[in-house]
Amino acid sequence: MPDHPWPTRQTEPADQRRTAARCGLYICHVCGRLSAPADALRRRHGLACPRCRAALHPRKPESLHRTLALLVTAAVLYLPANLLPVMTISRFGQDEPTTILQGVQALIAAQLWLLAVVVFAASIVVPMLKISTLGYLIWSVRTGEKNRRRDRTRLYHIAESVGQWSMVDVFLVAVLVSLVDLDFLAVITPGHGATFFAAVVVLTMLATHAFDPRLIWDAAESSYHEQ
Amino acid sequence: MAWFPLATPTTLETQLNINDYIACTHCDALYRRSPLEPGQSAICRDCGAEVTWEGEGRHEVVLAMAISGLILFAVACSFPVLSIQVGSQIESSSLISTTLKLVQSGFWGLAASMVLFVILYPALTFIGATIVIAGLELLPPKRRPILAVTLRWVTTLMPWSMTGVYVIGIFVSLVKLAKMAEVIPGAALFALIALIPISLMLRTQLSRETLWRRLEDA
């Protein structure tokens, strides 16, 4: 994997940046080709990339609204995802429902520190950070924040790359449910918390996809044009 | 489009050759391309994201990776991932049986995440990669549009393929169960682990840019 040395060079003042949009060019999100509207394919619903035929937009359409809608849904579902049990362990006729947080507690109690940290990071820290990061990014674009554009882009990049790792808990439940089905010893059944949790992960991933980080940069530049 | 002006090219020559330029998908900065060495990547001066990179790969290597990915994936689907033994009772879990179990318990959402993210999307990614790379060698140029459609789907599905995450899930359950019973790792677990470096290599050997350029040149 190519590494990411983030160079520390200061960015140029907003008004001097040469961007694709200012030169009337669209970037294709699938294949990365640049197109001028004149050589793009014309479709009933707009332009398409001449190389890979994916839809072309100057910016992701309705990016802020779609991100916000997905994010709010994810935040609402985050409650049942954490309050409802993700699985129930039945041992010796006793049912023991477990939520995500109780799962981490059990790992701590068993002194499996590394696993406890992994599960805590993947299931609790990552979703919360993702929801708050995207929320902050939307807010910063809406208020036309001009500072720290580079840091905010980096923040987005992080949210984008940690996306799928929260699924660990969902897959853990899936494996345990299929494996632990020993009538005389223990039976593990899934709980609705797991379904909600999977929905939260998918929704936050969709929200990250819907957000267009170029809006962070536009905020500084379009105001320059308005002056 | 109302909120940002589509300016006429003033800073650029009006008659630019689009293939000489590249833009950053994270901040829209426009750059003139310069050739990269294999393994080098171009980092955006404005936002620090990766604009493009040059893979080290040769075609044969990538094709070999894609085909071994397919075979390993077939193994991962047909053998048990983990088994536990308590006394004389043995319970095994494979990708398919895990999905069926979730369907039986009525947890359709969980079953769907298993099918899509662990079975279908990774499978389609490997099948698609094989088709594109083999097709570049074998198909006549007329048929190439099929490859473009395939590559587009591979690119779209890639972020949703979660075999690596699934392996972590298996490890957590392995450790959790180790106290309770004897846990026996199955062939599918080893196949899934071997798939991680292979899908990484698939991604680093050929860049998206290189693949699309080859498709276009043909």
Residue A202 contacts by C-beta under 8 Å, 6 or more apart in sequence? B113
Nearest to B173 among A12, A150, A175 (CB): A175
Question: Which residue of chain B has the CA closest to A224?
Answer: B4
**How many independent structural domains does chain A possess?**
1
Decide if pLDDT at A170 tops 90. Answer: yes
Domain boundaries, chain B: 1-54, 59-217
pLDDT at B62: 86
Q: What does the alpha-carbon distance between residue B147 and residue B151 come to, in Å, rounded to a whole number?
A: 6
Give the C-alpha distances (Å, rounded to integers) separating B65 from A36, B40, B148: 36, 21, 20
**Position A203, amino acid:** L
Instruction: Decide if B151 and A34 are in contact by the 8 Å CB cutoff.
Output: no
pLDDT per residue over A29-54, tens digit each? 888 888 888 888 888 888 998 888 88
CB atoms within 10 A of CB B73: 24
pLDDT at B200: 85
Share of chain A above pLDDT 90, in %: 46
Chain A partners of B170 at a C-beta cutoff of 8 Å? Answer: 171, 175
pLDDT at B15: 55
- The answer to whether residue A77 sits within a structural domain is yes
A216 within 8 A of A141, measured Cβ to Cβ: yes
Q: What does the alpha-carbon distance between residue B43 and residue A30 come to, in Å, rounded to a whole number?
A: 19
Pairing of β A87-91 and β A94-98: antiparallel
pLDDT confidence of A173, banded at 50, 70, 90?
very high
Instruction: Decide if B152 and A31 are in contact by the 8 Å CB cutoff.
Output: yes
Decide if pLDDT at A84 tops 90. Answer: yes
Instruction: Decide if B46 and A24 are in contact by the 8 Å CB cutoff.
Output: no
Nearest to B91 among A51, A179, A202 (CB): A179
pLDDT at A13: 54
DSSP letters, A119-185, are HHIIIIIHHHHHHHHHHHHHHHHHTT--S-HHHHHHHHHHHHHHGGGGGHHHHHHHHHHHH-EETTT
- List the CATH number of the domain containing A140: 1.20.140
Residue B91: both structure tokens together: 């319970």
Instruction: Decide if A24 and B9 are in contact by the 8 Å CB cutoff.
Output: yes
At A95, is the secondary structure helix, strand, or coil? strand
Nearest to B43 among A7, A11, A119 (CB): A7
Chain B partners of A189 at a C-beta cutoff of 8 Å? Answer: 105
Instruction: Decide if A217 and B162 are in contact by the 8 Å CB cutoff.
Output: no
At B156, is the secondary structure helix, strand, or coil? helix
Nearest to A2 among B91, B168, B204 (CB): B204
Instruction: Decide if B156 and A172 are in contact by the 8 Å CB cutoff.
Output: no
Question: Which residue of chain B has the CA closest to A172?
Answer: B169
Residue A225 contacts by C-beta under 8 Å, 6 or more apart in sequence? B4, B5
Instruction: Decide if A198 and B110 are in contact by the 8 Å CB cutoff.
Output: yes
pLDDT at A1: 38
The DSSP element (H or E) to which B197 belongs, if any, is helix B187-205
Q: What does the alpha-carbon distance between residue A157 and residue A208 come to, in Å, rounded to a whole number?
A: 9
- The answer to whether residue A209 sits within a structural domain is yes
pLDDT confidence of B86, banded at 50, 70, 90?
confident
pLDDT per residue over B9-62, tens digit each? 444 444 567 778 899 999 889 998 888 888 888 999 888 888 888 887 777 888
Check if B181 contacts A (Cβ < 8 Å): yes
- The answer to whether residue A164 sits within a structural domain is yes
A76 within 8 A of A207, measured Cβ to Cβ: no
> What is the pLDDT averaged over residues A108-113?
89
Among candidates B148, B128, B125, which has minimal Cα distance to B218?
A: B148
Q: What is the largest CA-CA distance in chain B?
A: 79
Residue B183: both structure tokens together: 């846990």
Give the C-alpha distances (Å, rounded to integers) separating B48 from A194, A213, B159, B208: 36, 12, 21, 19
Among candidates B185, B192, B159, B164, which has minimal Cα distance to B77?
A: B192
Which residues form the domain of A207? 62-226
The larger pLDDT score, comparing residue A153 to residue A7, is at: A153
pLDDT at B16: 64
**What was the ipTM of the complex prediction?**
0.86
CB contacts < 8 A, A to B, total 255
> What is the pLDDT averaged over residues A208-219?
90
A23 within 8 A of B13, measured Cβ to Cβ: no
DSSP 8-state code for residue B119: I
Residue A222: both structure tokens together: 């379009």
Residue B99 contacts by C-beta under 8 Å, 6 or more apart in sequence? B111, B114, B115, B119
Instruction: Decide if A190 and B105 are in contact by the 8 Å CB cutoff.
Output: yes
Share of chain A above pLDDT 70, in %: 90
DSSP 8-state code for residue B115: I
Chain A partners of B177 at a C-beta cutoff of 8 Å? Answer: 176, 179-180
pLDDT per residue over A143-164, tens digit each? 888 888 899 999 999 999 888 8
Question: Which residue of chain B has the CA closest to A54?
Answer: B152
Instruction: Decide if B48 and A7 are in contact by the 8 Å CB cutoff.
Output: yes
Decide if pLDDT at A14 tops 60. Answer: no
Dihedral sign, CA of A4, A5, A7, A8?
positive
Q: What does the alpha-carbon distance between residue A177 and residue B41 come to, in Å, rounded to a whole number?
A: 44
